[in-house]
Amino acid sequence: VQLVESGGGLVQAGGSLRLSCAASGFTFDDYAIGWFRQAPGKEREGVSCISSSDGSTYYADSVKGRFTISSDNAKNTVYLQMNSLKPEDTAVYYCAADFINGLGPVLTLYEYDYWGQGTQVTVSS
């Protein structure tokens, strides 16, 4: 099982980035893919998740209206489009996979079975 994030970087406040999470080694349609982030000195928190089978999504309140999660099942890849970025969005962003087998996606950290290595997002003011 492998999850590989990409797309992080340095951006000014108000700018945009698109993160990608390429998955392999498991049946993609049986899983939800979630994005989490961890800022220095803070706990890891959920950002957004999507069901690979039906495309249902969930967003944390802090990113609603600014971030959009999407999935390309042909490529086993999930994207996180991040617009109107704020300095408080600065963190290492991780993608993770949760076996849901048709259930709805949740942003409960301990539910997730597989994790990527993370990609750094830095938003300057």
pLDDT of 72 above 90: yes
Q: What is the mean pLDDT of residues 116-123?
A: 98
Query: What average pLDDT does this structure show over 40-65?
Result: 96
pLDDT of residue 104: 85
Question: Across all residues in the chain, what is the average pLDDT?
Answer: 96
Would you state the pLDDT for residue 102? 79
pLDDT of 103:
84
Cβ-contact 80, 93 below 8 angstroms: yes
Interval 80-109: pLDDT, tens: 999 999 999 999 999 999 998 878 888 999
* HEC-encoded secondary structure of 11-80: EECCCCEEEEEEEECCCHHHEEEEEEEECCCCCCEEEEEEECCCCCEEECCCCCCCEEEEEECCCCEEEE
Percent of the chain with pLDDT over 90: 92
Could you tell me if 53 and 29 are in contact, meaning their C-beta atoms sit under 8 angstroms apart? yes
Which pLDDT belongs to residue 83? 98
